[in-house]
Amino acid sequence: MKLGVIGYGGRIKHVIKSIQKEEPACVVQAIADIRPDVVVEGRAEGVAPVPVYRTPEEMLAAEKLDGVLIGTRCSLHTEMALKVLPTGIPLFLEKPVATTMEDARRLKAGYEAGKSRVVVSFPLRATSIVRLVKEIVDSGKIGTVEHVQAVNNVPYGGVYYHYWYRDERETGGLFLQKATHDFDYINYVLGLEPTHVCAMTSKQVFKGSKPAGLKCADCDENRTCPDSTVYGPQKTANWEYCSFAEDTGNEDSGSALIRYASGMHVSYSQNFFARRSAGMRGARFIGYKGTIDFDFYTNEVKVTMHHAPRTETHRFESSQDHFGGDAVLARSFIGLMRGESESVSPLEDGLASALLCLKARESALTGTFQTVEW
């Protein structure tokens, strides 16, 4: 099966490897990228080089493709998707599916008028952990879920201040970067529609008076700064920029309260300066009969019954591909290309998560409750 790629970046390369691991017959047939020197990794000797087109339009017109993957920077996800949707070619779309309300509305309209079926890059909902949590919730074992407490303390949060992600014009803010995953798996488990959201963000750590554009390598404090990416524990070749410069974007913590159609509510909080074993990502789903508690980093799900002296613990084997979710997304996309199955993470859900994130961002900016509607 022939894959076309729009934006051949690091994340989409990983997705392609996951697809090829599931189905070696999938090959990168063509790339659309603004960089003319893009080379496909792992290409066998004697095989013709993959053609690189300057625009998606050129690629789509010249190639017969079985699937298209979009891995551009975030601000271009909507624009590129709108070029593919009318073709009917199955599409793998990275999150966030949109970074502005205008783009979200355009994408919704383009999808409803288009022909392509879509897999959105939401691996968390596809993990064994979340699928077990949903199975338990759907069984009624803990009763109806009446409260959710969710948290994401990101131990690798430096990527949002040292790398290109520091540009809020590209990311749309960190609700769209990280909470979009968490909001999606929460919506998926609950099976309910969010109706209102209020949110707050803070920027207390990653700010400062260092000159704009300063790189860690050029800073006279790069041997003593605990966030140095040249000598410190955050040492990472691609993370070039000073996280304490005056042009460092993005909030460094954020929280949201979300009301659902049933009247219950979810509390969610994310943080980007926690480090090492302080990293945590998971939630508590609480019903009258019991509580489900899980953390992706410990690979455990605990079910505590409220009216019986019993706690069940489920442990999962560790996996590096988004806790096993990437493999499920890969199989789903292969199934779409073959016409054999439906998407495990359709664009309707990608749009719902983006809408909730955009409304949370608006709430944080204006200090108001926001109605979650188009």
Q: What is the pLDDT of residue 13?
A: 95
Q: What is the rounded distance in angstroms from the CA atom of residue 295 to the CA atom of residue 133?
A: 11
Query: If you ran DSSP here, which 8-state letter would residue 176 be given?
Result: I
Mean of the per-residue pLDDT values for the chain? 95
> For residues 326 and 332, is the Cβ–Cβ distance under 8 A?
no
Q: What are the beta bridge partners of residue 257?
A: 198, 267
pLDDT tens digit sequence for 257-292: 999 999 999 999 999 999 999 999 999 999 999 999
% of the chain at pLDDT higher than 70: 98
Q: How many angstroms separate the CA atoms of 15 and 231, rounded?
A: 31
Question: Which pLDDT value is given to residue 39?
Answer: 76
What CATH superfamily is the domain 124-203+250-318+354-371? Dihydrodipicolinate Reductase; domain 2 (3.30.360.10)
**Residue 81 pLDDT exceeds 90:** yes
Arithmetic mean of pLDDT, 106-120: 98
**Separation CA 56–CA 72 (nearest Å):** 11
HSE-up of residue 131 (Cα within 13 Å, Cβ side): 11
Where in the chain is CATH 3.30.360.10? 124-203+250-318+354-371
**pLDDT 10s digits, 34-68:** 987 887 776 666 667 899 999 999 999 999 999 99
Phi/psi of residue 58, each to 5°?
Answer: -65, -45
- Helices 180-190 and 128-139: angle between axes, nearest 10 degrees: 30
What are the pLDDT digits (tens) for 322-369? Answer: 788 999 999 999 999 999 999 999 999 999 999 999 999 999 999 999
Distance separating alpha carbons of residues 345 and 342, to the nearest angstrom: 9
Q: Which CATH class is domain 2-122+327-345?
A: alpha beta
pTM of the model: 0.95
Where do you find CATH 3.40.50.720 in the chain?
2-122+327-345
- Nearest-CA neighbor of 301 among 113, 137, 104, 111? 137
Reduced to 3 states, what is the DSSP secondary structure of residue 305?
strand
Going along 166-237, which residue ranges are E strands? 194-202
pLDDT at residue 230 is higher than 80: yes
| Token couple for 294 | 């899980």
**CA–CA distance, 16 with 20 (Å, rounded to integer):** 6
CA pair distance 201, 227, nearest whole angstrom? 22
